[in-house]
Amino acid sequence: MIFSIHGYRHCFQVAHPGSPVTVERYTRYREPVYLHCPIHGEVKASSAANVLLATHACPKCGEEASQATSYPSPENEGHKRRLSDSVLQRRMAKSSTPDCFDVHRDPSDPLFALFICPRHGPQKVRIGALVCGCVLCRKDRNQAKREAKQQMASSRTKIRK
Ligand SMILES: [Zn+2]
Ligand SMILES: [Zn+2]
């Protein structure tokens, strides 16, 4: 979870690399967030979490884009898919497991990305969750943290004895 505007801005940049949209005011992950779009000025997004998952950082830009591209030609589709794969790769490169490779959109499930983790093999994650990298690696890290804490706790009790 993200608690500070600083942390949120970082995730925002990972989710929308090179976006001219900036984060103006942030309270909580599930609360509205205020953005500044060069086209639309100050824009309120209903959920800071959704902004990270959306294709467009600015919800108004997203609305306009979805209206404009309601009938995409097959050629445009192919072009878009190639572009988004490189975006997915970039997101993975900035995640906590940048060594995962072969990142691409799942052809049968466009909300998901497929990639290969050098430790866990082929993986499938939600595209919005790519910024967190391999889910199994994260579980391993959390597990290691828990064990370290327990060890610290037990060594403390030993010292007391
Ligand atoms: Zn906009
Ligand atoms: Zn992994």
Report the C-alpha gap between 154 and 143 in whole angstroms: 16
**Quick one: which ligand is closest to 60's CA?**
1
In this structure, what token pair is assigned to residue 91?
């997101």
Confidence (pTM): 0.45
Query: How much distance in Å is there from the Cα of 119 to the middle of ligand 2?
Result: 5
**Quick one: which ligand is closest to 64's CA?**
1
**Is the backbone of residue 24 left (phi > 0), alpha (psi -120 to 50) or beta?**
alpha
pLDDT band at 93 (very low <50, low <70, confident <90, very high): very high
Task: Examine the pLDDT at 78 and tell me if it is beyond 50.
Answer: no
Task: Examine the pLDDT at 18 and tell me if it is beyond 50.
Answer: yes
Query: How much distance in Å is there from the Cα of 93 to the middle of ligand 2?
Result: 14
22-45, pLDDT tens digit by residue? Answer: 999 999 999 999 999 999 999 999
Contacts of 161 (CB under 8 A, 6+ apart): none
Q: Give the per-residue pLDDT at 82.
A: 47
**Quick one: which ligand is closest to 65's CA?**
1
**Quick one: which ligand is closest to 124's CA?**
2
State the burial class of residue 58 (Cβ atoms within 10 Å of its Cβ: 0-12, 13-18, 19+). buried
Query: How much distance in Å is there from the Cα of 29 to the middle of ligand 2?
Result: 25
Percentage of residues in the chain having pLDDT higher than 70? 86
